[in-house]
Structure 1
Amino acid sequence: MRRRAVVAAAAVLTGGVAVLLGVAVPQAQAAEVSYATRCIPPSGIGLPPVDGTTKVEITAPAAAKVGDTVDVVWTFTQAASRNPDIIDLPADSVQPSGTLKAAGAQSADIAMRGPRQNPPVPKGGAMVLSAMKGSLKLTTAGQVMLTPDAYVVNALSTDTSCAPTQQVQPAATITVTAGSGSSSGGTGEPSHTGTPSHTPTKTTSPSPPASTSTSPSPSGGSGGQTDFTGKVVNVPYTCQSPIGQKRATSPVQINARKNGGSYDLTVQFKKSVMDSPIDIPANSVKPAMQVVLGGADKGSVAVEGPKNAAPIKQGAPIEIPDLTGVYKPGATGEATLSPGVLTIDALGTRTTCTPDSSTVSLTLDTTEQAGGASGATGGSGSSSSTAGGASTSGGLAETGAGDHATLKALGLVAGTAVLLGAAVFTYLPGRRRTR
């Protein structure tokens, strides 16, 4: 007990001496500021600016010397708004960057950047942004005040820019004492704002292969014919998304193989019409279509493609998978097959594209089968979608100058710049999207 008392007394005395001598180890400080913010979505997505509140905590050393390079950390305690009810943002898809202002004894723009690191953000969920880091070389003795300024949120190649709409209070102050470094300067080293740069997406205009006419054979292929090749037709689509209508055109071909009294259908979107503008996760995109029947037969037949089995890297060509299904004729005679409504499910969203006009790709001589398609939507292998189906959520991007540009929409469905820009362009709780 006596020894403990001596140790305690010594500690008290030592602390007292430190106080008397003014000796103390500078401690890092963290302070939070809150400021009104306006965020601007990527151009072309049809969403208005959003006004919200950003809450930021700045961590920096309380004291340092001239010549020191200090590390500072910007932590978001509240983003300006929330993720709208459009799309789920996958993990590690969002990266913040911004500018921290230094003022007082010296002035500088400190480039701040955080890692692309976030938990999955569901539709309507609170945005979670990683902490940003930067550094500042101290050049002048005195008080250096640190104030958060504009920042950019990048989500899978799209930028949402957010800036204060009021004067922001300093969040941290560094007391800089004279040291071995120069004290003649009044400005810090030049720095950049930290805004990510992106290489424009490369696109290629598709040139559909020469069409191949199909000669129908009696009863769907008498004389031994089993394979039937349709012609390539350019289909003008109007696509409905949660942010408005888009129009696009794609070359499509319908082929068939006789299988008993039925036909195995394969629908092909010819060529890869673009490179991927983003990293697309595996198992995130699934296309489907209703093939419209005409002539002797009526209704539609559902065809669908597999999900993308492997991730698609940014800049890699988008390969659209074949869509397959089974057509069981419901009538005897010449039946025509035309591309119909296209739906694409991607990352929790659905895009519906309806042809502006019907163009026949394949004609078959058919024999009626029990339970066949005539008059019924779908037939064998049908899904719940219908020709001319109702619009649902999702988003496809128009390209080129005309109203109907090449359908590179399919290459964007797993993270179209329109959708992802809208997703990161978050909404305040309780604020309704303008329609």
Structure 2
Amino acid sequence: MLGGAGVLLGVAAAPAQAAEVAYRTECIPPAISGLPPVEGTTKVQITAPAEAKVGDEVTVTWKFVQAAARNPDVLDLDKDTVKPTGTLKAGGAQTADIAMEGPRSNPAIPKNSDMKLSDMTGKVKLTAAGEVTLTPDAYNVNVSKPISTDTKCTPKETVQPAATIKVTDGGGSGGQPTINPTLPTGLPTLPTNLPTRLPTGSSPSTSTPTASASETGGNGGDSGTGGQSDFTGKEVQVPYACKTPIGDKNATSPVQINAKKDGGNFALTVQFKKSVMNSPADIPKGSVKPSMEVVLGGADKGTVHVEGPVNANDIKSGDPIEIPDLTGTYKPGASGQSTLSPGVLTIKALGTTTTCTPTKTEVSLTLDTSQQPGGASGGTSTSEGTSAGTSGGLAQTGAEDHGALKALGLVAGTAILLGGAVFTFLPRRAR
């Protein structure tokens, strides 16, 4: 019947049986949400052949009659964004952990409604005669949008077997144990490319001047103009007060402002030092955009807009995150010694905005400037040709996520955003 393929799934041995079991379950929301564990009741129906023989590889099905947790009242889940995986335990005549996996196939799930999880399937090769029991165990619910998050659910009581397969010897040597009853084909594959470190711009080598000209203008002192073109600022500790979508946070970050003279103007590069932090969630490429307003002082007044590129690659959960170099053009509006200090930092990600304001001004670089037409001089100088690109990319990202990402925040820990961005997908109370 199977086209002569010789696939042994146990279907010819006996009609399938289906049985339901319910058990108390604890579900752990994503760590980045900061939500407490939630307890509920999982109801599962297991379908498997009633009889088979040693050596058969049988397929079993796990159907969620009821998941332990509901979709919270914060975010509507889009169609085909939810994927379940789990473990079914074989016991009795044979013990094995059977990897179960369901497709990413679900209807749209509104806020505060029951989770609709697809049926999971798995295979087990029968290696011993007798009764083999099948008992549902832990399972995981992955939601792929707006960012990938996992909710892990484990039994909080002894679970009763949901199905039993009567395994006969069947003769021959087909029942020789293989110690590999199930290959967990549904588990995530290992990443083929190890994390690449953002920023692709300056590396730590930029903080070590290699030319005497850089040393002349270092430490934010009198930079001079005697043929010098590169000016290295000093690293300053900037205390930030941050307004995030999930509350106010404080953070301190080491920041350095460097400049390269271009005619009467200066190309600025703002670097965040020691900004590595592991990401607690998968962050898609093109979704994070940082910018800053560098504050002018001394002879000049106003601000200079600098910004960094969006993240070029997906950032996997557990991989390091760094704020890339921020660049822009400073067009002096006054002649004399002008100071440059880190100012307001803005991080836009997936439709959300986090704004961090320094609580103290720290001068990183001092330059000898000559007034240029259209320069700062009390107003605001922006990097030419960059702002349009910023708003366009972010608008597209926000639209794709239907503006529902009030649940996504940039959580400030000891080094929020500045020391390394931490992103939070915040389903509220998982009921």
Same fold (TM over 0.5): yes
Q: Distance in 2 between matches of 1:305 and 1:346?
A: 13
The 1:338–1:149 alpha-carbon spacing in structure 2 relative to 1, beyond 3 Å, is: same
Question: Following superposition of structure 1 onto structure 2, how do residues 220-299 of structure 1 map, counting pairs within 5 Å?
Answer: 225-239=228-242, 241-242=244-245, 248-259=251-262, 262-270=265-273, 273=276, 281-299=284-302
CA contact (8 A) 2:85 2:120 kept: no
> 1:326-374: CA deviations, max 9, x gaps?
3344555443221223233334444444434332111234455666545
The amino acid of 2:362's aligned partner reads: T
**How far off is 1:231 after superposition?**
1.8
The 1:361–1:134 alpha-carbon spacing in structure 2 relative to 1, beyond 3 Å, is: farther
Question: Following superposition of structure 1 onto structure 2, how do residues 109-188 of structure 1 map, counting pairs within 5 Å?
Answer: 110-114=97-101, 131=120, 133-135=122-124, 137=126, 139-142=128-131, 144-153=132-141, 160-164=151-155, 171-177=162-168, 179-180=170-171
**How far off is 1:250 after superposition?**
3.5
Q: Distance in 2 between matches of 1:311 and 1:62?
A: 46
Instruction: Select the residue among 35, 48, 60 that pairs with 1:47.
Output: 35
Q: Distance in 1 between matches of 2:407 and 2:300?
A: 28
The 1:192–1:26 alpha-carbon spacing in structure 2 relative to 1, beyond 3 Å, is: closer
Structure 1 position 63 matched with structure 2 position 30: no
Q: Distance in 2 between matches of 1:392 and 1:141?
A: 51
Question: Following superposition of structure 1 onto structure 2, how do residues 332-411 of structure 1 map, counting pairs within 5 Å?
Answer: 332-367=335-370, 372-376=375-379, 378-381=380-383, 394-396=409-411, 398=413, 408-410=419-421
> 1:260-316: CA deviations, max 9, x gaps?
654432212347746778775432332222222333444433211112334567887
CA contact (8 A) 2:138 2:153 kept: yes
CA contact (8 A) 2:74 2:407 kept: no
> 1:175-200: CA deviations, max 9, x gaps?
44564499xxxxx999999998999x
**How far off is 1:74 after superposition?**
2.8
Q: Distance in 1 between matches of 2:29 and 2:300?
A: 48
CA RMSD of aligned residues (A): 5.5
User: Where does residue 5 of structure 2 map in the other structure?
Assistant: none
Structure 1 unaligned segments of length 5 or more: list them.
1-23, 183-187, 386-390
The 1:51–1:208 alpha-carbon spacing in structure 2 relative to 1, beyond 3 Å, is: farther
The amino acid of 2:348's aligned partner reads: D
Instruction: Select the residue among 298, 301, 306 that pairs with 1:303.
Output: 306
Q: Distance in 2 between matches of 1:253 and 1:119?
A: 48
Q: Distance in 1 between matches of 2:239 and 2:40?
A: 40
The 1:67–1:228 alpha-carbon spacing in structure 2 relative to 1, beyond 3 Å, is: closer
CA contact (8 A) 2:275 2:415 kept: no
Secondary structure at the counterpart of residue 36 of structure 2: coil
Secondary structure at the counterpart of residue 343 of structure 2: strand
CA contact (8 A) 1:330 1:367 kept: yes
CA contact (8 A) 1:352 1:394 kept: no
Q: TM-score, normalised by structure 1?
A: 0.62
The 1:311–1:134 alpha-carbon spacing in structure 2 relative to 1, beyond 3 Å, is: same
CA contact (8 A) 1:208 1:232 kept: no
Q: Distance in 2 between matches of 1:181 and 1:288?
A: 71
Q: Distance in 2 between matches of 1:392 and 1:262?
A: 42
> 1:83-115: CA deviations, max 9, x gaps?
7758999999x8754332446x65746342438
The 1:246–1:88 alpha-carbon spacing in structure 2 relative to 1, beyond 3 Å, is: farther
The 1:257–1:318 alpha-carbon spacing in structure 2 relative to 1, beyond 3 Å, is: same
The 1:160–1:392 alpha-carbon spacing in structure 2 relative to 1, beyond 3 Å, is: closer
CA contact (8 A) 2:231 2:260 kept: yes
CA contact (8 A) 2:323 2:420 kept: no
CA contact (8 A) 2:84 2:104 kept: no
Q: TM-score, normalised by structure 2?
A: 0.62
CA contact (8 A) 1:236 1:248 kept: yes
Q: Distance in 1 between matches of 2:286 and 2:228?
A: 37
Aligned residues: 377
CA contact (8 A) 2:42 2:66 kept: yes
The 1:69–1:192 alpha-carbon spacing in structure 2 relative to 1, beyond 3 Å, is: closer
Asked which structure has the greater CA Rg, the reply is 1
Q: Distance in 2 between matches of 1:409 and 1:350?
A: 16
Q: Distance in 1 between matches of 2:279 and 2:205?
A: 19
